[in-house]
Structure 1
Amino acid sequence: MIQVGASFELKTKVTEQNTALAVGSGDVPVFATPMMMALMEGAAAQCLAQFLEEGKTSVGGNISSSHVSATPVGMEVRAIATITEVDGKKVKFAIEAYDEAGLIGKGDHLRIIVTRDRFLQGAADKLQK
């Protein structure tokens, strides 16, 4: 049973490769917003994975986040995802990201539980059209 309140944390180091300049989301060498959101989404996916039956996975349905503080190359960033609501196959999360100086972003994320094989087949079927 999926537990509301369960959380998971992921960490990464800011490098030249995950800056806004490197990924094309800006022209400054600080942690990129898309990379922050990917870290948050990854934390949510791993949080939910521990509760899923074999053959099931989850996919992102929606993500909304602020990015309120820049993080320079060399600092560590951690993302925390906490389950806030479960409605059938829909699981909602509160997501937050911090660097060594404090909060850098927060928001909400929705994940949908799917059958892995069926989901992948639906994606592959697009190639047949």
Structure 2
Amino acid sequence: MTEKVVFTQTVTEEMLAVNVGSGSLRVLATPTVCALFEKAAVQLAQQFLPEDQTTVGCSISVEHTAPTPLGMQVTITAEMTAHEGRNFSFELMAEDEAGVCASGTHSRVAVSSEHFQQKADAKAK
């Protein structure tokens, strides 16, 4: 099992701030960066869990320090910094073709997939 996940994504129209609703510019949106960070952390944490469990995000702190334009590649890295019981912690980094554009930390908690979904569904009744 690895304690680091890295993947590269090309910035597309639906990832832009103007289309996500987080701003008026045609640059990679901060909410999209957060989603990419969570995607990497989910992939990493899942390696340490049985099939009937997943993780849910409980905190994220992100500094989005440079703009990334449409069509540019962004590389996302999540590195596990702690795994204690049900709790997972991660250091996160996003690098575009010009350098680091965002960084942060993220925490997730392991849960039973079925039980957690049932709990959420019960709220709608």
TM-score band, normalised by shorter chain: over 0.9
Cα separation, 1, equivalents of 2:7 and 2:33: 11
- The equivalent position to 1:110 in structure 2, one of 89, 107, 118, is 107
TM-score when scaled to structure 1?
A: 0.93
Deviation by residue 1:96-121 (Cα, 9 ceiling, x = unmatched): 11101110011100010000000000
Aligned to 1:68: 65
Given residue 19 of structure 1, which amino acid in structure 2 is its aligned partner? L
3-state secondary structure, aligned to 1:21: helix
Equivalent residues, number: 125
Is 1:10–1:39's contact at 8 Å kept on the other side of the alignment?
no
Unaligned runs of 5+ in 2: none
Aligned to 2:35: 38
Matched, 1:14 2:11: yes
Residue 88 of structure 1: how far off its partner (Å): 1.3
Aligned to 1:28: 25
Matched, 1:98 2:91: no
Aligned to 1:123: 120
Runs of 4+ in 1 over 3 A off after TM superposition: none
Deviation by residue 1:52-73 (Cα, 9 ceiling, x = unmatched): 1120101111000100000011
- 5-14 or 24-33, which deviates more: 5-14
Unaligned runs of 5+ in 1: none
Task: Give the fraction of aligned pairs with identical amino acids, expressed as a percent.
Answer: 40
Matched, 1:48 2:45: yes
TM-score when scaled to structure 2?
A: 0.96
